[in-house]
């Protein structure tokens, strides 16, 4: 930033395992989103190494990173980023056209409980329903990794819980490796592992011996 250098992350050393649900926990500015963006190939670190299976993403070209995101990664953000002039089904269909073995769009909407709302426009859906469309869109291409940046941040507690239930279902039924950013410590109880960040560093990694259902979280 001009003459000022900001170290968003420092000395991160982390493995994420296939099929697990990981929560990245920390306050605003702790480095959560930067780490998530690096994992998803949206940002490239200034030093260090990023590996996805046998693929080294550290020095990948923009074309290679685009291919990595297209084939392997699904993104869910705090704001739904739906195209307002398209129905729920059409918003999902756009993504499925990018990959040959994608899930049928209607099946993806059924999976998140919105099969009956497929022909509704975003303005005709509640916030929680729009977020479920966004999740449907992210999982329709059958990604190996689902990266979620504050997916319940704009929702009330009950709606947020329903969205977390969908993410849990996707993780368990599809085996999708899921990384979820939150500043809400109670959400950590539904994860396999909780990675706490502070000032750009990992301050603690905790494994839950017994995970909570989203309905049992102390919101």
Average pLDDT (43-60) is 91
What 3-state DSSP class applies to 71? helix
- The answer to whether residue 9 is domain-embedded is no
Please report the pLDDT score of residue 1 as a whole number.
65
Please report the pLDDT score of residue 174 as a whole number.
92
Residue with tokens 């990794």: 145
- The answer to whether residue 1 is domain-embedded is no
Residue 112, domain extent: 21-216
- The answer to whether residue 14 is domain-embedded is no
pLDDT digits (tens, 9 = 90+) for 5-39: 888 999 999 999 999 999 999 988 899 999 999 99
User: What residues contact residue 53 under an 8 Å CB cut-off, 6+ apart?
Assistant: none
Average pLDDT (32-53) is 93
Please report the pLDDT score of residue 218 as a whole number.
76
Question: Quick one: DSSP state of residue 32?
Answer: H
Query: Considering only CA atoms, which of 74, 21, 18, 15 is closest in space to residue 50?
Result: 15
Task: Describe the strand order of the beta sheet including 145-149 as a list of residue ranges.
Answer: 73-76, 145-149, 177-182, 21-25, 193-198, 201-207
Torsion of CA 165, 168, 174, 178, to 10 degrees: 130
Query: Considering only CA atoms, which of 130, 145, 123 is closest in space to residue 52?
Result: 145
Composition of the chain by helix, strand, coil, percent to 5: 35, 15, 45
- The answer to whether residue 62 is domain-embedded is yes
Please state, in angstroms and rounded to a whole number, the distance separating the CA atoms of residues 162 and 215.
8
Exposed (0-12), middle (13-18) or buried (19+): which is 127, by Cβ within 10 Å?
middle
pLDDT digits (tens, 9 = 90+) for 82-106: 999 999 999 999 999 888 889 999 9
Query: Considering only CA atoms, which of 123, 114, 128, 125 is closest in space to residue 164?
Result: 128
- Cβ-count burial 130-158 (b if 16+ within 10 Å, e if not): bbbbbbbbbbbbbbbbbbbbbbbebbeee
- The answer to whether residue 15 is domain-embedded is no
**How many Cα atoms within 13 Å fall on the side-chain side of residue 10?**
11
CATH at 124: 3.40.50.300
Strand 201-207 and strand 193-198: pairing? antiparallel
- The answer to whether residue 131 is domain-embedded is yes
pLDDT at 177 over 70: yes
- The number of domains in the chain is 1
Q: What mean pLDDT value characterizes the chain? A: 92
147 token code pair? 């990266």
pLDDT digits (tens, 9 = 90+) for 185-208: 999 999 999 999 999 999 999 999
- The answer to whether residue 30 is domain-embedded is yes
pLDDT at 69 over 90: yes
- The answer to whether residue 12 is domain-embedded is no
Phi-psi region for residue 78, left (φ > 0), alpha (ψ -120 to 50) or beta? alpha
pLDDT digits (tens, 9 = 90+) for 106-165: 999 999 999 999 999 999 999 999 999 999 999 999 999 999 999 988 788 888 999 999
């Amino acid at each position: 930033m001009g003459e000022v250098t900001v170290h968003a992350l420092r000395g991160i050393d982390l493995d994420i395992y296939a099929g697990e649900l990981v929560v990245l926990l920390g306050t605003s500015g702790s480095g959560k989103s930067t780490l998530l963006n690096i994992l998803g190939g949206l940002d490239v670190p200034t030093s260090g190494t990023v590996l996805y299976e046998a693929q080294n993403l550290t020095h990948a070209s923009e074309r290679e990173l685009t291919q990595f995101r297209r084939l392997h990664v699904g993104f869910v953000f705090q704001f739904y980023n739906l195209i307002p002039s398209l129905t729920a089904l059409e918003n999902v269909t756009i993504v499925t056209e990018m990959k040959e073995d994608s899930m049928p769009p209607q099946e993806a909407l059924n999976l998140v409980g919105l099969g009956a709302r497929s022909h509704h426009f975003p303005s005709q859906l509640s916030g929680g329903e729009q977020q479920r469309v966004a999740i449907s869109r992210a999982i329709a291409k059958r990604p190996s990794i689902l990266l979620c940046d504050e997916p319940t941040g704009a929702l009330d507690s009950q709606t947020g819980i329903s969205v977390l239930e969908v993410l849990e279902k996707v993780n368990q039924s599809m085996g999708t490796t899921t990384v979820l950013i939150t500043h809400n410590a109670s959400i950590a109880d539904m994860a396999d592992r909780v990675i706490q960040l502070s000032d750009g560093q990992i301050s603690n990694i905790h494994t839950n011996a017994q995970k909570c259902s989203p309905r049992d979280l102390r919101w």
